[in-house]
Structure 1
Amino acid sequence: MTPVEKKSAPEDYNPIRIGQEPHSRRQALGKSAWIGVWLLYLAGPVGQLLQPGVPAAPRIWGFLGLALFVLTYFALVFRHMWRSLTQQVTYGSLAVLLALSLVLSWTMDFSWLVLFIFTSVASGVVLTWQQSRWAIPLVTALLLAVGWHYPQIRDYYLFAYGLPALGCGFMMVGVQHLIRTTQELRAARQEVARLAANDERLRLARDLHDLLGHSLSLITLKSELAGRMLPDRPDDAARQVADIERVSRQALVDVREAVTGYRRPRIAVELAGVRAALRTAGITAAVDPALDAEQRGLATEGEGALAWALREAVTNVVRHSGARRCELLLTEEWEADERRQLCLSVIDDGIGPPPGGGRDGNGLTGLRERLALADGRLETGPAPRGRGFALRAYVPLAAPAPAPPAATAFPEPLPDQA
């Protein structure tokens, strides 16, 4: 069986973490770069200040005003991403941006009209829809009014500055709506997981009640009966005590089977967990579709061992590998003795194994022991492409059922001859 690799879902690959707080320095730098790249549109004002012949006073005033504008813009947008802002901070920062846009674009050059676009974007980011639907057209109207001050651009400044300010502002309103919707969906998914855990606890409590209710009631009844029989009828009391022992042993067996069923890990459950772990760590997951399918011929112990292997391997990838991509593959292989083996492969592109192999940690040692109990084995080493680490866990598959024998064709009897 050849493993087929599928592209990760959009939720598995979110390097900018839109709508989420960064959990590492790399993610914070990614967010900063995504916001800072739009400052390239300030090349026009900077170029105007660097032109020869610009007096020193306007040049100093321009650089100071531009620096104040950029710092206010960054402080407003970044603080909005990580914490809720008070109305005073929000309105005050927007007022500073709008004032600088008006003064600088009026006193310096028409290229400074681009500041209105940033002000419009900031309004779409930090204001509610009821507020931004009025603020963005107002900023655009002020841009058009100031732009009319420059006759040389009256033929095209509506399309060069006015429409981008209006469009970018309302586009950010839509982006903020998508971010809020994503956050609500994420919260709803967490609530569903919590409710599912509560349902599982209720089901466990109900099953334990069904298992133990009758047995404990019977033990209590027989204990009272044995107590009444003990002085005068010791033989009958001994039989009741023997029944108590039998019932209690059976109850213990039932509880162990029930708890074992709850504690047994499953590949589907672990796969959902490792996807979330890789996504949180910013690692792209390439998952073989075979992992989502039901595995026929896989014993309960084998599935539990593979689930533990999947959890341990991905945990090591997240904590120690420094990888950017991780492949999860599930293949069926034949051994030399004609036995079928199911192989789980976890391959990353990280730093790989230490030189000389090194010793297994406690996690891998325990994993080898679990696989050995399921008649499986563990193999570790460098990734096939030469960079990264590869972990392969093997467990046996049940032999396929033999095909029913074909019906034997018997020759028809010859007719009796006269």
Structure 2
Amino acid sequence: MAEQQKKNGWSWPDDPAGPPTRAGRIAGFVMSTMFLIYLVSPINQAFTAPHPTAVRVAVVTTVAVYCCIYATVYMAFSMRRTWFDKRVRIAGVAAMFACGITLAVLLGPDNLMFLTYAISAALMQLPPTVGLLLGLGTTTALLIGTEIAEGAPDWNAASILVVLTIAMFGTRQVIMANAELRAARDEIATLAVAEERSRMARDLHDVLGHSLTTITVKAGLARRILESSGDDQRAIAELRDVETLSRTALGEVRSTVSGYREASLAAELVGARVALQAAEIAADLPHAVDNVPAGLQEPFAYVLREGVTNVIRHSNAHRCEIRLGESWIEIRDDGTPAETCGSGHGLSGLKERLAKVGGSLSAGPAEAGGFIVRASVPVAVTA
């Protein structure tokens, strides 16, 4: 999803949340256009005062055009399927201002108060600061015009115009803020789904990769025993381990799907010893994990699982050494690293897990030969 641009008072309005519901569109249009009833006042002035027929026709025509443009602008705003081009918006607002000014020319400067409709359209279709400045400018023009025409500024009309301008400006800001909140809520929901998919992929890789590797090694060991020595009891013991591992893997998959699975560093050490022995790799492992803080035991357990799995599957090693510290874990082997080592999906998943606790992962050939995987967390983060 594209990143939302930061908005300010000079930003053109858009609709980040998409079109509203049908009920919202109808309600918005009705609430907006019902105020057109006040435009009956200029028509009433034209017919109650002694004005020429041409003036009366001009007033009626201007009011009709004014209403049509206003309704079109607000219909576009309430529907919000596609926004008008910026030039069309400017032209529409300019036409509405022309209609309001025409009424003031025909009937007197106090009718500049009816530019409220044009200011409202400007606030909805143009950058909000532009609409606010137009409202304040219209108020100033009304005061100056009534001062010149009537000898005293019409403060009542000016105050009404100012209050309505500020109220509509605030309403517009609330509408846009709510739209942005809806967009943010939808984006958060999308990101949550993506994060859950990533977690599922990462956990299933970690669970099935290690479990299937160990099952494969155990099954292969049982086959070799039957083929070479015919030691049925030992082969049966290995097959029982395969059955146990299969049941354990099935339970881990269920826990992963439901989101309740937690890795245990101590249990992973036991599993690593069994898997390495089955693969006929000498294992040099820690005897306890008590020195590792509780908050790091789970991510280190995943590092241990993935590292041992890679040793068994890719290294052709004869020895694997695992070391633990308060803020680090290291898996080292004496095998021959493959060209693609250090770039797999499993290691990428480990980096994501460690990033959540402020840690980092390094993987690559060791100076003395073999391959080394090291995960560490800064001491300050551990504390």
TM bin, normalised by shorter chain, reads 0.5 to 0.7
Q: How many angstroms does 1:209 deviate by?
A: 4.2
- How far apart in 1 are the matches of 2:251 and 2:169? 61
Q: How many angstroms does 1:42 deviate by?
A: 1.8
Q: 1:158 to 1:119 in 2, by over 3 A?
A: farther
User: 1:370-381 residue pairs with structure 2 within 5 A?
Assistant: none
The one-letter amino acid of 2:175's match is I
User: 1:18-417 residue pairs with structure 2 within 5 A?
Assistant: 21-24=19-22, 26-51=23-48, 55-81=52-78, 82=80, 83-108=82-107, 112-148=111-147, 150-151=149-150, 155=152, 157-159=154-156, 161-234=157-230, 235=232, 236-260=234-258
Q: 1:109 to 1:136 in 2, by over 3 A?
A: closer
Q: 1:261 to 1:132 in 2, by over 3 A?
A: closer
**CA deviation digits over 1:256-298, x for unaligned, max 9?**
3443567xxxxxxxxxxxxxxxxxxxxxxxxxxxxxxxxxxxx
- How far apart in 1 are the matches of 2:46 and 2:106? 12
**CA deviation digits over 1:203-236, x for unaligned, max 9?**
3344434543442222011122123223233424
- How far apart in 2 are the matches of 1:181 and 1:134? 21
Contact preservation (8 Å) 1:120, 1:165 = no
Q: How many angstroms does 1:88 deviate by?
A: 1.6
Q: Give the structure, 1 or 2, with the largest relative contact order (CA under 8 Å, sep 6 or more).
A: 1
Q: 1:119 to 1:158 in 2, by over 3 A?
A: farther
Contact preservation (8 Å) 2:222, 2:238 = yes
- How far apart in 2 are the matches of 1:194 and 1:88? 34
Q: How many angstroms does 1:155 deviate by?
A: 4.9
Bigger-Rg structure (1/2): 2
Contact preservation (8 Å) 2:139, 2:158 = yes
**CA deviation digits over 1:387-410, x for unaligned, max 9?**
xxxxxxxxxxxxxxxxxxxxxxxx
Q: How many residues align?
A: 240
- How far apart in 2 are the matches of 1:72 and 1:60? 18
Q: 1:52 to 1:191 in 2, by over 3 A?
A: closer
The one-letter amino acid of 1:67's match is A
The one-letter amino acid of 2:243's match is E
The one-letter amino acid of 2:219's match is S
**The 10-residue stretch of structure 1 (93-102 or 72-81) with the greater mean CA deviation from structure 2:** 72-81
Q: How many angstroms does 1:111 deviate by?
A: 6.6
The one-letter amino acid of 2:38's match is Y
Contact preservation (8 Å) 1:105, 1:113 = yes
Contact preservation (8 Å) 2:135, 2:165 = yes
Q: How many angstroms does 1:109 deviate by?
A: 5.1
Q: How many angstroms does 1:118 deviate by?
A: 1.9
Q: Secondary structure at the match of 2:227?
A: coil
Structure 2: state its 5+ residue gaps: 1-16, 261-383
Q: Secondary structure at the match of 2:221?
A: helix
Q: 1:260 to 1:132 in 2, by over 3 A?
A: closer
Structure 1: state its 5+ residue gaps: 1-18, 263-418
The one-letter amino acid of 1:70's match is C
- How far apart in 2 are the matches of 1:165 and 1:35? 17
The aligned residue for residue 333 of structure 1 is none
Relative to the length of structure 2, the TM-score reads 0.54
Q: How many angstroms does 1:239 deviate by?
A: 3.9
Relative to the length of structure 1, the TM-score reads 0.50
